[in-house]
Structure formats: C-alpha cells, structure tokens
Structure 1
Amino acid sequence: MHLIDIPNFINTYITKRKESLFLKDIEDNHKRLTDKIAGKSVLVIGGAGTIGSSYIKAVLKYKPGKLFVVDTNENGLTELTRVLRSDAHTFVPDDYRTYPMSFGDPVFKKMFLAEGPFHIVANFAAHKHVRSEKDKYSIEAMLENNVFKAKEFLDLLMDHKPEHFFCVSTDKAANPVNVMGASKKLMEEVIMSYSKDMQITTARFANVAFSNGSLLAGYIERLFQNQPISCPDDVQRFFVSPEESGQICMLACMLGQTGEIFFPKLEAEQMVYFKDITLDFFKASKRPILECLSEEDAKTKALTLKEGDPYPVYFFKSDTSGEKLYEEFFTEQDQVDQDSYASLGVIKNARQLPRHQIDASLLDLRSLMDSGNYDKTAIVEVLKKHLPNFEHIETGKSLDQKM
C-alpha cells in the first residue's frame, strides 16, 4: 500500500486548512505568551497522549525554564522524550523530567511538593472515549479519573497555587448524552468551583484527527495487520489536527480569565463524516475498497487479502450507547464571546457552584459506588440529578462489541 503523509492528509481532506486555525491568535499574542511562559516551571499531567504532548510542543516554543511530565503510559513518555530530543528545532529545558505515575498516587504528591512550585500546571489525564462506557466498573473508573482525582489535585493546589491551571474538557460536555461527556461536564463544575480561588481555565474542542486510540489512528494499525476496517456511515464530527489541539489548550491556559471555557470557532459545514474520511483515506493510499455486508463478511475477505486487492471495509449505522451524531460546543444558556479572538470562542458564564454543593454531589456518587448495591443505570440517575442537561442515550450496546 502507498504510505500517505498523515499531517498532509489531515490538512487536505479533514480540516481542509493549509495552516493552523489558531495561527493568527498565536501571532497576535506572541509577546503575552512569551511573558507568561519563558523561564517558568511547567507541570503537564497526561503529557504522553496526543493532546498533552501537542500542548508540550506548543509551550516549548516559548522556552520554559523547567518541564516535568507525568503519565501512566511509560512507553508513551519514552517516545515523547525521543521525539523532543530528536528534533533539531525543539527547545528542551535543562530541567526536563518524565515520571510514569498517576497523579492520584501518593508518590506524585511527594514529587509535587518536593520539586515545586510550578507556575503552569496542565492536566490532560482523562478517560476520553465513549467506548469506556460499558458497565458500572468502567464508569466508576472513568469518574475516578475524570472527577475525583481532579478534585483531590485541586485541593492540593490550593496550598500551592500556580499562575495558570488548565484542565482539558470535551465538546461532549455540552448537552451530554454519554457518561464520558457527563463526567467531563461534572469535572468542569468541579474546577469552576475553585476558579475564584485560583486561575483556572478549560477548553472544549473537536475530535483530534489520528489521535492515539481514535478510529482513524486504528486504520493504520489495521492495515499493518491486514485486518478489515469498520466505520459508521452516519456520524459526523468537527476535527482539529494534533498540532491545533495543543495550541488551543495553550491559548486557553495562558490567555483566559479564570472560569472561562474556550472552544474553536468552527461552523456546521466544517463537520466531516467518518465515511467520507475513510473513502478519502483509501483514495490517497491509491487502493480501492471492497464494501462488505457485515463484520463477518469483512473478516472473511481479509483472510485471503493480497497486496493490491480491494481492501475490505464495513460501513454501519451507529447504534451504541451514548453516541451523538453531531457535535456542539455550547448551549443556549451559555453567554458566548465570539469577538475577542479570531479563532476562539469563550463561554463567559460557566456555572460556579459553591464548593459545599460540589462536595455534596460527589458524596452522592461516592456513597452509591461504595454501597456495593448499584448498576450503570443507578450511576446515570445520580449524574442526571446533578447535571440537569444530561440526557443519556442507552441502547444496550457498547463499542467493545464492534470491530
């Protein structure tokens, strides 16, 4: 198969942008960004993932004095270091360290207290896939990572306040229909309850094209293993490139006022169907496809696949729990500033609940999950109680039941 240039493919067929969506805002704010980052100490949690590592690359252009990166993915940290150290154009501060640990671990707290203070703290550690919604165990793990650990970390930060704290959100937090989106909406409300006490911002944004674990990134692995590809033909999404994902987080972190939620200014016509991307992917790869009637049909045809044969692809209608066929970044109740930035919108009136109310909501969830007498439906009902806009879509099917 003809190997394609993935960054060029993203620019040409997915985002259809020759340069970054955020280039003008970055250029217009070059001095402000330099003043806020140059020489400063930076801590990035979840920095081995696609968005976290892209954020690191964006920040390094302004030459921070110290960079610590924490992630549970030891191999990911190794590759991040190789990427940074191998690029002749990338500045890496003398005090650069990576730690394979969870930010909820006691050893993380020891490191944080001994090696701080940190001027800039960004948290990208998250369960980010709708796929993670399966049963009570997977949902509890998601809430633990996305909400409870974030809350514990904020309590730690209260005595060691950074100049900037950023925690990544998702477009799926706007009118959530899945538990992942609801967990990130709850995370937003948790961090906003601290926003009067420290500088806190977040960002919702689109799918990151070819990000780690994404459907599109899986295409490359399937091709290497001569396995068929499956794709929903009725789902469309907004997309940003990996580089853009790091840039929007940097801009939100450094330029935002506390309590603000940033999002990319994208129009509905910029959404792209996964099916169209799939067809363009094979066109760019100079290989025809063979549309199959089912997963079994696709897997059977892959068994006899030879170089140059049409590649087996199965297109299906989406029918899994929590699947939203479109994307949105804000709701009718949000006060939105569309004028301050060329490429960024800002939600100005994010709910800032009293801390005791947030504590009560989390206690409800914790008590339920510690009771031993609960299921997925019970967790969803408690989330609905605290998130009025949460309208869960339940079909009884999980993405883990599909290719």
Structure 2
Amino acid sequence: MAYTRRLPLLVLLDSTIVLFSIFVGYFVLNPYMHVYTIPMLWVSAITLLFSHHLFSSIYRLYQKAWEYASVSELLAIVKAVTFSAITTAIVQVLITHDIYIRVLGLTWMMHIILIGGSRFSWRVFREHYVVSASNKKRTLIIGAGAAGTMIARQLLKSSSTDLYPIAFVDDDIKKLKLQIYNMKVEGNTWEIPQLVSSLDIENIVIAIPSLKRNQLKRIYEQCTRTKATTKTMPMIEDLATGKISINQIRDVEVEDLLGREPIELDMSSISKKLTGKTVLVTGAGGSIGSEICRQICKFQPEMLLLLGHGENSIYTIDMELKKSYSETIKIVPIIADVQDRTRIFDIMDQYQPDVVYHAAAHKHVPLMEYNPMEAVKNNIFGTKNVAEAANAFGVKSFVMISTDKAVNPPNVMGASKRFAEMIIQNLAKESQTNFVAVRFGNVLGSRGSVIPLFKRQIKAGGPVTVTHPEMTRYFMTIPEASRLVIQAGALAKGGEVFVLDMGEPVKIVDLAKNLISLSGYTEEEIGIEFSGIRPGEKLFEELLNENEVQKERVFPKIHIGKAEPMGKVELYDIIDSLNSKGISEVKEILVSVANTKFNKDKDLLASNG
C-alpha cells in the first residue's frame, strides 16, 4: 500500500521537475539565442518527460528507499537524466537536423540538481529531524573501519534504535581527527574513559568484528572504567552468512572475553564422514549434544538420530532442527536410556548408523560424589552398552565425549569418564569401528556450569559464590567444542584420545568479576563470597598427565594423548565387580584405577578377586 501511494507522488514530482527544467532553460536562453520554436519546445518537453520516466523505470528510481540514498543512487539519477537528454537530442536531430546543445545542457544540469535534491533532501531531513531525537542515547563507536562506518550509518538512519552516534575511536593514527558522516575520530582506545566523560557518552559500541579476543578484552577493560553501557557486534564467524544489521548489536558476553579465536575446519574430511550418512548422537538434548547436532546438520547427513533420556530436551532440539532441515535431513527423535542395553542394541540394529557421537553422561562432580553408582551406571555401563552395540553392528566411527577431569581424577565423575575412555580404547584394538575419545574442559554456558549459576546469583542481588580464590578452569565455547569434536572424529584412525587445546586456564574469581561487570554492577554492589572447595574438586584441572603429554598437534587446537588403557580382562573384571560393592568401595576403586594405581595396590587387587 505504501508503494502504491508513493509511486504517483514521485511520478508527479519528477514530471514537474522535468517540465520546469526545460522551460526554464528555454526562457533563460531564448531571448539571447532564439533556440526553440514553441512547437519544438513542446516536442522536446514531451520527449524529455516520457524518456525520463522510461529510464527512471529502467534504473529503478521509483523503487529506491531514498532515506538511505548514497553514491549508487546518485549514479542512477545521473544515468537516467543523461539518457533522457540524449533521447531528446536524437528526436531534435530527426525533426530539425539540429541539436539545441546549450538548452539541453542547462536543462540536464537543472534536471540532475532538482531530481537529486528532491531525493537527498528527504534523507537529510530524516537524519536531522526524524532520527536524531533528543531522547536518544549518545553513543561512541569503537572502530572507524568498514564495520564501524556501516554501524554508524545504520544508527543514523534508523528511527527504531535508541542509540545515536556522536564520535569514533580508532587506533589507526591515519584516521585520527578525520570526519565520517560528520562525526570525528576523536582518539584511540586508550583514551576511551576520558572521551566518554568529555563527550557525555551513554553507550559504547565495539564495531570491529575481526578483533582478537585478547584485544577485545583490553578494550572492554577500558570501557569498564566508564559508566557507559558497552555493546558489540557479532564476530566474523557469526557474520559469514549474512549482512550486518542494527539488530545484531548486542551486549558484550563473557564468551567474547574468555573464548578463543575461531579456526577453519577441514570441511572436506568432515563431509566424507557425515554427508549422506546416518548419524546417531546420544545425549542429544544436552548442551554439547544439541550443539553437535546443529553442527552435523550443516554437513547434510541423510538421517540424524537424536537419542536422549529426557523427553523435553529431545523434543526441543527435534523441533529446532526440523524447522530448518526437515526437507533435507530425516531427523528421528529417540527416547532411550543408554543404561538399557537391550534398547540400545535394538536401536543400533534398526537404524544401522554410520557414525555415533556419544555425549550422554553425568557430569556434575559434587553430585556424583554423593551418587557414585549413578556415575558408574551412566558413564561406565552406558558407554559400554553404546560402544559394544556400535561394534556389534559395524558402525564406522564412534566418538566419545570425555573431560579434562579424567586426568588424575580425585573424584568419581572424572574417574568414571576415564573408565569409559579405557573401554573404547580396548574395543579399538579388536574392532573394525574407529573408536576415539575427545577430552576438553569446561564449556561456557552449558547446563550445570558456573556461568548460569553466577548469572542467577547476580540477578538475585548477590553475592556470587566462588569456591576458592585460586580455583582455575579451562574454558571454551559450546560451538567451538562441538566443532572440534566433529573435526577430531574425522581425523580418527582408532584408539586415540584426542585432547582439545583449551588455551590458558581462567581463574573462577576473575570470571565472576567479569560477569558482575557485564551485568552492569560493581563488585561492591554484588559481592563475592568464597564457599570452600566442594567434594571431589581440584584447584587446577589438567588435560593430560605428565605421562600422556604429546605436544605435536594433528590439527590446530587438537592433540593426540598417549593415555594407555588397562588390559581389557582386568578392566572388565573390575567393572563387573562394581555392582557388588558399597559406595565407599566404589569410590576407592574408581579413583584408584583411574589414577593408574591398580597394579601397585595388591590389597585392592585382592579385594576384587
């Protein structure tokens, strides 16, 4: 409806401008040069009028959004007006064998000025009287490059945002004091606190999508020294499939500060493993499992089996994936418990998957200390069931999600995952299936992780509880962990324990301070309390013990560990004995064996027959 009302108005406006231009040209020059006869004047005017509308249609002058007009729109106007004048000149030649160059030249010039002015005046009016309302928040843009100027332009032209750009900041000294959209590059990022104060800035937008994480952290630290709200735009990996738009400006997240740089995957090797294949993901409703499913869908498997014990979580990921991939991938939700051996074997027999990603596990360290048999049943027997079913039905590749807590574990959860690793390592020695495990540390934002807990505590007004001031952990984002798991699976030859490079460990107390700041509070307002180390926790996590260290990488951020499993007969004897042991004995056996103390402990060996 808006377009149908707008078109007649533009046609009427242009018609008036065209006729006005040629008649003004005639009346200005004719007294001195006697350029036109009246009949020729009308023929030229009608020709110019019709040719203008023709070329305006060809160059879509009536379809353009002139509030966003720029150089490309100006070029379209010049082309339409020029070709209109050329057409009029041709008609003049055909009728009079002459061209009235001076009149056409003056008409052409006025035509461009008036058509262009009518269009661009709307943009100027909108930017200065519609968009720049007094209730908008004064905004400083960090980055005067392509992304920063694009963001500035969108903020200037948008009436739906409450941000209004005032100035730029950029570390490129060549840009210092330059003007972009009438806004000056006022200084560099080290001057942010002073500039925010002097310019009365309320919001800061970090508009450098290629910024490395450590650089972003440094800039954000400068921003936290002000009272302005800090926002950012998506990183380059998030912009790969679409254009930057105003609604992509978002708050800075802790993932931006603690995550690492994205890496390029070997798409070819992954495609060979997944494209057109049947893929089974256990624990598909969990944080890691569901993200693995999202990443797998990008490689267009023929069928994706979503296996999980919780119907709500499986329903959620099933609906999400079917919304985007239902026409290209057969997605099958399966409610099953990995502890149910018969059910798992039936599923493997029915669907005959080519690849299995085993993400189902209990992962909460303190809870497993209180419930060690649940860790045994889910993490050990569950893995044994899925792995042996994969072996029995000829699955080509089996990838188990493990943890850094499997290294020298003082706790039940970590020990149970080390047992699970040894199960698949032993199966790899005798199976045609490529069995591998992938170890990584904590995942930012996963269910049961520290970040959601901290966010709830901050929302409740604090305090944020940290177990110990020296507690450190490795962190990576859910998408990065999931992509590297898929890449490791593509590299597998069988029997490896892949270890993801987690970067530098992070102090949990620093993480808490960052989250408090990101939430718009000070440490004094929320507070941090130290609650003491919980059962089974270590101050520092490891990804490999000293006997497993292998520095060479098989792929960026992926190492192969040298973790050696216990022999299958001994391992299975111990696993079988766990059902008859009490809680304290189960804990002792799990931790002792997982720490490779079994062969040295004769009393423990005797107690297990």
Alignment partner of 1:340: what SS?
strand
Partner of 1:252: 488
Q: Alpha-carbon deviation of 1:353?
A: 4.0
**1:375 corresponds to 2:375:** no
Other-structure match for 1:363? 576
What amino acid is aligned across from residue 112 of structure 1 in structure 2? M
1:339 corresponds in structure 2 to 553
1:123 aligns with 2:367: no
Residue 305 of structure 1 corresponds to which residue in structure 2? none
One-letter amino acid of the structure 2 residue matched with residue 130 of structure 1: V
How far apart are 1:201 and its partner, in Å?
0.6
Instruction: Name 2:381's counterpart in structure 1.
Output: 148
Conserved? CA contact 1:182–1:387, under 8 Å? yes
1:197-208 to 2 correspondence within 5 Å? 197=431, 198-208=433-443
Distance 2:365 2:386 in 1: 24
For residue 319 of structure 1, report the CA deviation from its aligned partner.
2.5
Alpha-carbon distance, 1:389 to partner: 4.0
Distance 1:217 1:167 in 2: 25
Return the match for 2:333 from 89, 92, 98. Answer: 98
**Pairs aligned (count):** 349
Q: Which residue of 2 aligns with 1:52?
A: 289
2:513 pairs, out of 265, 269, 279, with: 279
RMSD of equivalent CA atoms: 2.6
* 1:44 alignment partner, SS class: strand
Match of 2:419 in 1: 186
**CA 1:145–1:212 in 2, change beyond 3 Å: closer, same or farther?**
same
Change (3 A) 1:7 1:160: farther
Q: Where does 1:299-318 land on structure 2 (aligned, <5 Å)?
A: 310-311=525-526, 313-316=527-530, 318=532
Aligned twin of 2:543 = 329
- Higher mean C-alpha deviation, range 71-80 or range 189-198: 71-80
Question: Looking at both structures, which has the greater relative contact order when contacts are Cα pairs under 8 Å and sequence separation is at least 6?
Answer: 1
Kindly, what percent of the aligned residue pairs are identical? 23
| Corresponding residue for residue 391 of structure 2 | 158
| Residue 132 of structure 1, CA deviation | 1.6
Equivalent residues of 1:48, 1:73 under 8 A apart = yes
Deviation per residue, 1:97-144 (Å, 9 max, x gap): 112321233444433322x21001111111111122343xx1001111
Q: CA–CA distance in 1 between the matches of 2:448 and 2:499?
A: 22
* CA pair 185-107 structure 1, distance change in 2 beyond 3 A: closer
Question: Aligned equivalents of 1:332 and 1:223: distance in 2?
Answer: 39
Partners of 2:394 and 2:388 lie apart in 1 by 10
Letter in 2 for 1:383: L
- Of residues 74, 94, 97, the one that matches 2:311 is 74
Q: Contact 1:39–1:63 (CA<8 Å) still a contact in 2? A: yes
SS at match of 1:194: helix
What is aligned with 2:347?
A: 111
Q: Distance in 1 between matches of 2:597 and 2:515?
A: 35
Per-residue CA distance 1:332-358 (angstroms, 9 max, x = gap) = 2125252322211111x3324443222
Cα distance, 1:76 vs structure 2 = 1.4
Q: Are 2:258 and 1:14 aligned?
A: yes
User: Structure 1 335/102 Cα, relative in aligned 2: closer, same or farther at 3 Å?
Assistant: same
Deviations 1:14-66 (A, max 9, x none): 22x3x42xx23x1xx21111111110000000011111111112222211110
Which SS does the other structure have where 1:169 is aligned?
Answer: strand
For 1:334 and 1:354, locate their aligned partners in 2 and report how far apart those are by CA, in whole Å.
17
* Contact 2:464 2:512 (8 Å CA) reproduced: no
Distance between the aligned counterparts of 2:417 and 2:401, measured in 1? 9
Among candidates 280, 290, 293, match of residue 43 of structure 1:
280
AA aligned opposite 2:491: L
Q: Distance in 2 between matches of 1:40 and 1:335?
A: 34
Structure 2 CA distance, aligned partners of 1:246 and 1:139?
27
Is the Cα–Cα contact under 8 Å of residues 472 and 539 in structure 2 kept in the other structure?
Answer: yes
Identify which range, 42-51 or 378-387, moves more after superposition: 378-387
Task: Deviation per CA, 1:53-99: give whole Å up to 9, x if none.
Answer: 11112222211110010111222122223433455xx6874310112
- Once residues 439 and 511 of structure 2 are traced to their aligned partners in structure 1, the CA distance between those partners, rounded to angstroms, is 22
Greater fraction helix: 2
Give the whole-Å Cα distance in 2 for the aligned partners of 1:8 and 1:76.
28
Give the whole-Å Cα distance in 2 for the aligned partners of 1:390 and 1:380: 14
Residue aligning to 1:296:
none
CA distance in 1, matches of 2:451, 2:497: 27
Kindly provide the amino acid, as one letter, of the partner of residue 234 in structure 1: E
Higher gyration radius (CA):
2
Is the deviation greater in 200-209 or in 323-332? 323-332
- For 1:336, what is the secondary structure of its paired residue? coil
Q: Is residue 193–residue 358 contact of structure 1 (8 Å, CA) maintained in 2?
A: no
Q: Corresponding residue for 1:399?
A: none
Shift of 1:223: 4.9
Conserved 8 A contact 1:53-1:80 = yes
> Matched residues in 1 for 2:401 and 2:251: separation?
23
| Cα distance in structure 1, aligned partners of 2:279 and 2:453 | 32
**Which amino acid is the alignment partner of residue 283 of structure 2?**
G
Aligned match of 1:195: 428
> What is the aligned partner in structure 1 of residue 405 from structure 2?
172
Note the residue ranges of structure 1 that are not aligned, 5 or more in a row: 291-309, 369-373, 392-403
Contact 2:390 2:398 survives alignment (8 Å): no
Contact 1:13 1:277 in 2 (8 A): no
Whether the 8 Å CA contact 1:42–1:119 is kept in 2: the answer is yes
TM-score (norm 1): 0.79
Displacement, 1:228?
A: 4.5
Distance 1:240 1:7 in 2: 19
Report SS of the residue matched to 1:195.
Answer: helix
Distance 1:322 1:35, change over 3 A: same
**Bigger shift: residues 382-391 or 157-166:** 382-391
Report if the CA contact (8 A) 1:275-1:315 is conserved: no
Q: CA deviation at 1:159?
A: 1.9
- 1:133 aligns with 368
Q: 1:161 is paired with a residue of what secondary structure? A: coil
Deviations 1:266-318 (A, max 9, x none): 44xx211111111111211212244xxxxxxxxxxxxxxxxxxx33x442153
Alignment map for 1:378-389 (pairs within 5 Å): 378-389=585-596
8 Å Cα contact 2:472-2:540 kept in structure 1: yes
In the alignment, residue 101 of structure 1 is paired with which amino acid?
A
1:201-252, Cα deviation, whole Å (9 max, x unpaired): 1111111011111121123344555665322332111100010111121112
- Give the AA of the match of 2:444: A
